[in-house]
Amino acid sequence: MADRVIAGRAIVAGNAEGDALVTSDALSFWGGYDFHTGEIIDRRHPLAGVRAAGRILAVPFSKGSSSTTAVLVEAVRAGTAPAAILTTGVDAFFALASIVADVMYGKPFPVIALEPVDFASLRSGEQLRIELSGVIRRI
Amino acid sequence: MLQLSDDDRAMLNGDRGPAPRLAMSILVRMADVYGAAELMDISQAHIDSTIYLGDATLDFAERLAALGARVAVPTSLNVSGVDECGWKDWAVPPDWAAKAARQMLAYEKMGAVPMWTCAPYQTHMRPAFGQQIAWGESNAIAFANSVIGARTERYPDLLDVCCAITGRVPAVGLHLTAQRAGQMLLRLAGVAPALQQDDQFFAVLGHLVGTLAGDQIPVIDGILVRPAEDRLKAFAAASASSGRVALFHMVGVTPEAPTLDAAFQGRAAPPAIEITTADLRAARRELTTADGQPLDMVILGSPHFSLAEFSLLAPLVAGRQVHPRVKFLVTSSRLMKARAEESGVLAPIVAFGAQITLDTCILASPMLPPEIKTLMTNSAKYAYYAPSLLNTRVTFGSLADCVRSAVEGRVVRDESLWRIA
């Protein structure tokens, strides 16, 4: 059985709670995320058509366009961003989006890096709570 | 622990004004994210944040401009959200055009060079081998690092401009020699030279390498041809669309990989993953989402069409006419269009019935009318993004296939090299 507590590393610290949306495939938010709806639109991605707004999105890393950050900041402004993003390594794109969302709108979102084994234990639909320390609790 | 220079601290404290303070405050937080011990100088930047997406990108640009931001190093500007002079010929909403133009103005005010192109490496602002730069735009990052040997991290929008304003970057990653060594080995196995010479080959290979490379620096061995620069450009754009490639080494082709040993900086190469002709055929199939022959538009120029590409297109279209049901659009920069005009290769392309869009592209500007449902392109980047971003179906083919299809008014492809033997 999966551990109830996962020790994540807070790349951008923050609190969040929500249901997990998990993929092992990298994602470009530009061309991959509609910030008007909060839906993943990359037709080549397994989560195509799924709404990620308000959910805790676990995606190993960003790929593709440099504009991934800009799309994420637009989503924060529009209220359609994921509640948090969990990754397998330090992803500068997601971190920057959160930092700029903080600077511009006072609305950062947690970005947490996980060990690959912990990332692999995540399942879509499970309820997660992210704490300031980077600890993630299954609730 | 991050050590700042006196200059860095002066900027952070606001001694150089509010814009460097804002830019440096973001840069310092990012230096922590990257785990940098210090910042380092750059001598050039390319800003991708020019692409207007909505109110947030405009807010950010106008806030920096209002604070009096000026770039500290020579800086080129990427595509914008609108063709300033030509948008009225298309379906761009006037409100979008106005806001995109405001965003362009904000970045121009910062003293950056209004080149409005995603191929800055084909202009006079091409960086040099070993030059430390901060570039946004995924295709340009991969090209600058790999084909030129300049050094940039994979910079996201909104950070590129902070680097340009401060002239500083976190001293990490692809700026450092040791971090530029290859991390995985991909080897072409039995891929015939005739296929490698086909003008779709490097775009298809790039698409495949992007999907295989994950977050690693790929080394590609077994290239038997000497690719023209625009083919490496197609490879870079493709691998940075299907994947996150910011640096690749091609043994015997790119400057940091004269040998396999050099590509891995003398370390032992990992076991090779083979790429076969069958893998390439499958990758090429992935780039096509349309079935059948309907065709509304041929679209060329992602990354922006170069003079060499205009020169290849001109003899293919000379004396022919685009079918009345089909649009034929080339996206490029003002500079390249002017060069094509001067050298005489633009005239036959315009006479053929092609249209030219400048400053932007069909992915960055909402210019296509809704009746355009089926596209054909020789660009793996257009082929990758168009189905999701534009809700269109797309066929990938060679430049000659694109021209022939536009003339006949239906998709036709010469499959002789790609058909299963």
Listed by start position, the domains of chain A span 5-138
Nearest chain A residue (CA) to B156: A66
CB-CB under 8 Å, B387 with A76? no
Buried b / exposed e across A100-111, counting CB within 10 Å, b at 16+? bbbbbeeebbbb
Q: What pLDDT was estimated at residue A1? A: 57
Q: What pLDDT was estimated at residue A2? A: 75
Q: How far is CA B113 from CA A36, A73, B104, in A?
A: 31, 25, 11
Q: Work out the number of other CB atoms within 10 angstroms of the CB of residue B403.
A: 22
Q: Judge whether B389 is closer than 8 Å to chain A, CB to CB.
A: yes
Catalytic positions of A: 65
Tell whether the model's pLDDT for residue A105 goes beyond 90: yes
Placement of tokens 């590509």 in the chain: B263
For the A5-138 domain, the top CATH level (class) is alpha beta
Tally of CA atoms within 13 A in the half-sphere of B36 that contains its CB = 24
Listed by number, the residues of chain A in 20-79 with a beta carbon closer than 8 Å to a beta carbon of chain B are: 26, 28, 31-32, 35, 41-44, 48, 60-71, 73-74, 76-78
Q: What pLDDT was estimated at residue B421? A: 52
The residues of chain B that CATH labels 3.30.499.10 are 6-178, 297-408
For the B297-408 domain, the top CATH level (class) is alpha beta
> Torsion over CA of B140, B142, B145 and B146, rounded to 10 degrees?
-120
ipTM of model over 0.90: yes
Low-confidence ranges of chain B (pLDDT < 70): 420-421
CB-CB under 8 Å, A68 with B156? yes
Report how many Cβ contacts below 8 Å link chain A to chain B: 124
The C-alpha atoms of residue B319 and residue B351 are separated, in whole angstroms, by 8
> Torsion over CA of B337, B380, A66 and B364, rounded to 10 degrees?
50
Smallest Cβ–Cβ distance between B156 and the set A32, A63, A92 belongs to A92
| Residues of chain B found within 8 Å of residue A100, distances taken between Cβ atoms | 26, 60, 158
CB-CB under 8 Å, B363 with A103? no
Q: What is the pLDDT of residues B400-416, one digit of tens each?
A: 999 999 999 999 999 99
Nearest chain B residue (CA) to A73: B56
Instruction: Classify domain B6-178 by CATH architecture.
Output: 2-Layer Sandwich (3.30)
CB-CB under 8 Å, B33 with A43? no
Q: What is the pLDDT of residues A53-92, one digit of tens each?
A: 999 999 999 999 999 999 999 999 999 999 999 999 999 9
Q: What pLDDT was estimated at residue B1? A: 86
Q: What is the pLDDT of residues B142-151, one digit of tens each?
A: 999 999 999 9
Q: Judge whether A129 is closer than 8 Å to chain B, CB to CB.
A: no
Listed by number, the residues of chain B in 347-376 with a beta carbon closer than 8 Å to a beta carbon of chain A are: 363
Question: Do residues A45 and A25 touch, judged by C-beta distance below 8 A?
Answer: yes
Question: Do residues B198 and B283 touch, judged by C-beta distance below 8 A?
Answer: no
Q: Chain B: nearest CA to A128, how far in angstroms?
A: 23
Buried b / exposed e across B98-121, counting CB within 10 Å, b at 16+? ebbbebbebbebbebbbbbbbbbb
| Residues of chain B found within 8 Å of residue A99, distances taken between Cβ atoms | 26, 29-30, 33
| Residues of chain B found within 8 Å of residue A90, distances taken between Cβ atoms | 33-35
Q: What pLDDT was estimated at residue A3? A: 85
Q: Judge whether B156 is closer than 8 Å to chain A, CB to CB.
A: yes
